[in-house]
Amino acid sequence: MRVGVVDLGTNSTRLLVADVHDGQVDEVVRRLRITRLGEGVDERRMLLPLPIARVRNVLSDYRRELEELGAERVLAIGTSAIRDAENGEAFLGEIEWSYGFTTRLLSGDQEAELTRRGVANGRGLDDDTLVLDVGGGSTELITAGSRSSLDIGCVRLTERFLHSDPPTGGELEAAARASREALPELEPGDAIGVAGTVTSLAALELGAYDPERTHGHRLSREAVSTQLERLASLPLAQRRELGALEPERAPVIVAGAVIVNEVLARYRLDELEVSERDLLHGAALEAAQLPEPQEGAAPPGAYTCC
């Protein structure tokens, strides 16, 4: 079955079109656009009109591509920003009505579980392997027996602490301290990192972003520390010009690197493996289980979002 997944993330809006057969997810197309849906949510607890407009513009493009590629089921998932926003569920209602996607607001535990399923698709995971997913509003830490969704993310920490350009030493230490204090007691044997912050750090080390090269790359703690020091020393305009970094990720990459650095230090991990398989692939398995779409009335909250 061909399915589509739209991840309505705090920092980016992502698309995966995949063929799912016998529990295996075979990627057809993957897209990412930086939309910053979570802009201002940490302070105001509302999705704001401009970020919503940015997301809707991207969804129009995604819907056309989904139709062209023949996706039979489409699942749009909401994560940290939508969880935190008072108008988050109304926003999902509008998305469902406007674009015909099935929508689902994930709890932190559900997000963590789907991320682990996505990473594990096509490979085995040891029980003590830590899966690290640094998002815009939250960070998920997942092992076989533990799932933690933490209210630290690259957008949230940037808005709370990193106000100077480039950030000051005091601001960096405040962001690092907030990250350290949020981390739970764990004893992982190794780690796998997913999502934009981790893949961007790998791309910066490799000199360019190539999914085939980043997937499986071993990113050392020393390399993360080096990239953090480098990124934090550059003003935003210069970070945007780094060839291996998506320009629209430049405003939040320093905070994301802080989180990865603190996780590796806290759990005494020398490195992590980079994975291009993540929440999208876990959600694709869920999308394949959806019933056939039916025409119906507008869901509760439609047209009342903002």
118-132 confidence digits (pLDDT tens):
999 878 899 999 999
Residue 8, φ and ψ in degrees, nearest 5: -90, 75
In a domain, 140, yes or no: yes
In a domain, 92, yes or no: yes
Q: What is the mean pLDDT of residues 76-84?
A: 94
Residue 41 sits at the vertex; the CA angle it makes with 35 and 43, to the nearest 5 degrees, is 140
What string of DSSP letters covers the chain?
Answer: -EEEEEEE-SSEEEEEEEEEETTEEEEEEEEEEE--TTTTHHHHSS--HHHHHHHHHHHHHHHHHHHHHT-SEEEEEE-HHHHH-TTHHHHHHHHHHHH--EEEEPPHHHHHHHHHHHHHTTS---TTEEEEEE-SS-EEEE-SS-EEEES--HHHHHHHH--SSSPPHHHHHHHHHHHHHHPPP---SEEEEESHHHHHHHHHHHTS--HHHHTT-EEEHHHHHHHHHHHHHS-HHHHHT-TTS-GGGTTTHHHHHHHHHHHHHHTT-SEEEE-S--HHHHHHHHHTTSPPP---PPPTTTT---
Shared-domain flag, residues 131 and 215 = yes
Range of the domain at 151: 122-276
Q: pLDDT averaged over the chain?
A: 93
- Among the listed residues 14, 33, 30, the one whose alpha carbon sits nearest the alpha carbon of residue 246: 33
182-220 confidence digits (pLDDT tens):
999 999 999 999 988 999 999 999 999 999 999 999 999
Shared-domain flag, residues 90 and 143 = no
Q: What is the mean pLDDT of residues 270-291?
A: 95
Shared-domain flag, residues 35 and 176 = no
pLDDT of 16 strictly over 80: yes
- pLDDT for 123: 85
Shared-domain flag, residues 176 and 71 = no
Shared-domain flag, residues 104 and 126 = no
Q: How many residues does the chain have?
A: 306
- pLDDT for 227: 97
Cα–Cα distance measured from residue 152 to residue 95, given in angstroms and rounded to the nearest whole number: 26
**Residue 230 token pair:** 């480098």
Shared-domain flag, residues 66 and 180 = no
Shared-domain flag, residues 165 and 271 = yes
Cα–Cα distance measured from residue 77 to residue 118, given in angstroms and rounded to the nearest whole number: 14
- pLDDT for 108: 87
Shared-domain flag, residues 250 and 190 = yes
pLDDT band for position 293 (cuts 50, 70, 90): confident
The verdict on whether omega for the bond into residue 291 sits within 30 degrees of 0, i.e. cis, is no
Which CATH number characterizes residue 89's domain?
3.30.420.40
Cα–Cα distance measured from residue 147 to residue 130, given in angstroms and rounded to the nearest whole number: 10
- pLDDT for 301: 43
Which CATH number characterizes residue 244's domain?
3.30.420.150
Shared-domain flag, residues 102 and 126 = no
Domain total in the chain: 2
**Residue 28 token pair:** 């057809």
